[in-house]
């Protein structure tokens, strides 16, 4: 079976030719979008981009990102999405590690792309997704082409075939705790996930999905693939901001979103009375990164009465999600209530076990490491057999997350193994403490970390973002925790702040940064 990802573009152009592929600025029908993809893909071989070559993509969320993504695949090449938040030296390291032949970039990153080109030995071509002054007349070390020019090439009559087992993309992991590793994902892995996600999210040809979190990250990237499978429309928000998100939702008529809970909370806090109707037509709210607190869910359900809420848990090495908490479990009362702190059950074609330190399954309800297997698993880390063998054993992927499974298969994420705090000889799972703090009505977001302590070894430290207009003190938070968790789990120190927590491209809190900030802050 050929599960090449470009087949979904061909199908969308057949079943919904006049429907929108791109909604909002730069609107395009699926017929026009498919034509562009074919033209660009057909032009690439003439500029020394061939099947199996790696082509990097450095861009904010925009239509040209999606076009280049599918054109790279149609040419038989391997996509390497780049985290645009990285420093230039970090980007160079990734490009050299992947031995990229091409680098496509948008106007926001034209200067950096041109500057670093000479530092990437394998680079043979630069592709400007937009025309800018920086590109015009640029004296780069390799040829610079404009995407608009590649679109003028006659569509290729034939394109190189791709096996579903061939590598489709290499996604580099965050690198917040060490050197990034390139996760190799096949066309089959993406195709399986796209089909499962399209079904779970109930996407339709009239769906309009807003790319609001970074497209270089699998959380958004995978949902985008599912939308193409359904022949729905893609809308784009270059950078997330609550006011900008509200404006784009209203402008385009967005029906589907994917945001982490902290982002959802900031949108509600930003929403004015005269904007109350903007969110009324949202049909799907996908989220991940953490569970959702009951008070926030209730606020969201009031603002989005038509919305189906669905949580996903996964990781890059699993090509996205491996568990999901369905809409019917997003309730705070009744027979189906009580699962909001769960990440849900295994997705179709996915097996999950909880294993102890010796690698054997633990009893139901007991914590251990979450291990997963299924057709969506990575092929391995790019040119890093040692790292691959450390996490893939006997066909199972060891996630590094601590969790438990109940009698009905609901998985609860307890913590990252590396984020567990050992204080006075007791294990404290930061996620448990964060859940309690997040239930305080004055808390917009929080993160719990371990800091060195001469008496306890480590102490529990909480960084809390105060909700706008709320009066929250350390005493308030301590009293809130006192009646809900054991004394040794309660934070022994707090930082209460106004500014948002630092997050990665996946919307996950950068705890290493918070730890460093706390340790360097004057006492």
Domains contained in the chain, CATH given: 21-184 (3.40.50.12780), 240-416 (3.40.50.12780), 420-520 (3.30.300.30)
Q: How far apart are CA 47 and CA 216, in angstroms?
A: 24
Kindly tell me if the per-residue pLDDT of 414 is higher than 90: no
pLDDT score at 4: 75
* Bigger pLDDT: 161 vs 223: 223
Give 205's pLDDT tier (boundaries 50, 70, 90).
very high
Closest by CA to 445, choosing from 413, 484, 472, is 472
* Bigger pLDDT: 203 vs 155: 203
pLDDT score at 178: 55
Q: Is the CB of residue 281 less than 8 Å from the CB of residue 250? A: no
Kindly tell me if the per-residue pLDDT of 230 is higher than 50: yes
pLDDT score at 2: 56
pLDDT score at 149: 94
Q: How far apart are CA 114 and CA 142, in angstroms?
A: 9
Q: How far apart are CA 368 and CA 399, in angstroms?
A: 11
Q: Is the CB of residue 207 less than 8 Å from the CB of residue 231? A: no
Give 175's pLDDT tier (boundaries 50, 70, 90).
very low
CB atoms within 10 A of CB 137: 7
pLDDT score at 177: 45
Which helix H or strand E contains 496, and what residues bound it?
Answer: strand 493-497
The structure tokens listed for 377 are 């698993």
Extended strands (E) in 231-387: 233-236, 256-258, 284-287, 308-315, 320-325, 345-346, 351-355, 368-373, 380-381
Per-residue pLDDT tens digits for 504-521: 766 678 898 999 999 988
Q: Is the CB of residue 226 less than 8 Å from the CB of residue 201? A: yes
CB atoms within 10 A of CB 149: 13
| DSSP designation for 484 | T
pLDDT score at 505: 66
Kindly tell me if the per-residue pLDDT of 381 is higher than 90: yes
Kindly tell me if the per-residue pLDDT of 359 is higher than 80: yes
Dihedral of alpha carbons 411, 414, 419, 425, sign: negative
Give 389's pLDDT tier (boundaries 50, 70, 90).
very high
Closest by CA to 415, choosing from 432, 398, 399, is 432
pLDDT score at 176: 41
Q: How far apart are CA 277 and CA 217, in angstroms?
A: 30
CA-to-CA separations, 460 to 82, 427, 428, in angstroms, rounded = 35, 11, 8
Per-residue pLDDT tens digits for 12-64: 999 999 999 999 999 999 999 999 999 999 999 999 999 999 999 999 999 99
CA atoms within 13 A on the CB side of 233: 22
Kindly tell me if the per-residue pLDDT of 444 is higher than 50: yes
Kindly tell me if the per-residue pLDDT of 174 is higher than 70: no
pTM: 0.86
The structure tokens listed for 18 are 């006049």
pLDDT score at 238: 97
Q: How far apart are CA 175 and CA 355, in angstroms?
A: 26
Q: How far apart are CA 520 and CA 84, in angstroms?
A: 27
> For the chain, what is the mean pLDDT?
92
Provide long-range contacts, Cβ within 8 A and 24+ apart, for 303-310.
303/268, 303/271, 303/276, 303/279, 304/279, 304/280, 305/280, 306/280, 306/281, 306/282, 307/279, 307/282, 307/283, 308/202, 308/283, 308/284, 309/285, 310/200, 310/201, 310/284, 310/285, 310/286
Dihedral of alpha carbons 83, 88, 93, 98, sign: positive
Dihedral of alpha carbons 409, 410, 416, 419, sign: negative
The structure tokens listed for 164 are 């579903």
Q: What angle do CA 238, 239, 243 make, to 5 degrees?
A: 110
């Amino acid at each position: 079976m050929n599960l090449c990802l470009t087949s979904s573009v061909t199908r969308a152009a057949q079943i919904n030719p006049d429907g929108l592929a791109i909604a909002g600025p730069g609107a395009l029908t699926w017929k026009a979008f498919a034509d562009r993809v074919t033209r660009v893909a057909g032009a690439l071989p003439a500029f020394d981009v061939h099947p199996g070559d790696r082509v990097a993509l450095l861009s904010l969320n925009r239509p040209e990102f999606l076009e280049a993504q599918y054109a790279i695949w149609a040419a038989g090449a391997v996509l390497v999405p780049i985290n645009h938040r990285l420093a230039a030296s970090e980007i160079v390291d990734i490009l050299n590690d992947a031995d990229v032949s091409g680098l496509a970039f948008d106007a926001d990153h034209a200067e950096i792309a041109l500057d670093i080109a000479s530092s990437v030995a394998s680079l043979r071509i630069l592709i400007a997704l937009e025309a800018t002054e920086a590109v015009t007349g640029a004296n780069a070390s390799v040829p610079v082409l404009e995407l608009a020019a590649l679109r003028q090439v006659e569509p290729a009559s034939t394109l190189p075939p791709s096996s579903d087992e061939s590598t489709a993309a290499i996604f580099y992991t965050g690198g917040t705790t060490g050197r990034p590793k390139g996760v190799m994902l096949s066309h089959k892995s993406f195709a399986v996930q796209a089909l499962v996600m399209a079904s779970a999210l109930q996407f339709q040809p009239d769906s309009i999905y807003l790319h609001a979190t970074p497209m270089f990250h699998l959380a958004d990237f995978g949902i985008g693939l599912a939308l193409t499978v359904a022949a729905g429309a893609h809308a784009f928000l270059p950078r997330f901001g609550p006011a900008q998100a509200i404006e784009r939702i209203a402008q385009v008529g967005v029906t589907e979103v994917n945001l982490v809970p902290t982002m959802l909370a900031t949108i509600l806090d930003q929403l004015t009375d005269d904007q109350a109707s903007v969110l009324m037509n949202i049909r799907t709210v996908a989220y991940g990164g953490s569970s959702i607190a009951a008070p926030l869910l209730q606020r969201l359900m009031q603002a989005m009465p038509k919305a189906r809420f669905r949580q996903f848990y996964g990781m890059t090495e699993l090509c996205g999600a491996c568990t999901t908490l369905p809409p019917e479990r997003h309730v705070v009362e009744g027979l189906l209530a009580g699962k909001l702190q769960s990440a849900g059950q295994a997705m179709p074609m996915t097996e999950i076990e909880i294993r102890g330190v010796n690698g054997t399954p633990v009893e139901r309800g007991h914590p251990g490491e979450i291990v997963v297997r299924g057709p969506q698993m990575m092929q391995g880390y790019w040119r890093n057999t040692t790292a691959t063998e450390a996490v893939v054993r006997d066909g199972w992927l060891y996630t590094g997350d601590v969790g438990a499974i109940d009698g009905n298969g609901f998985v609860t994420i307890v913590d990252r193994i590396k984020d567990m705090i050992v204080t006075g000889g007791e294990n404290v799972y930061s996620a448990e403490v964060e859940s309690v703090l997040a239930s305080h009505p004055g808390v917009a977001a929080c993160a719990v970390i371990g800091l060195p302590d001469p008496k306890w070894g480590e102490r529990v430290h909480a960084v809390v973002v105060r909700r706008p207009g709320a009066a929250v003190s350390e005493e308030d938070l301590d009293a809130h925790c006192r009646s809900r968790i054991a004394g040794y789990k309660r934070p022994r120190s707090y930082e209460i702040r106004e500014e948002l927590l630092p997050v990665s491209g996946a919307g996950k809190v950068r705890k290493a940064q918070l730890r460093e900030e706390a340790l360097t802050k004057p006492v």
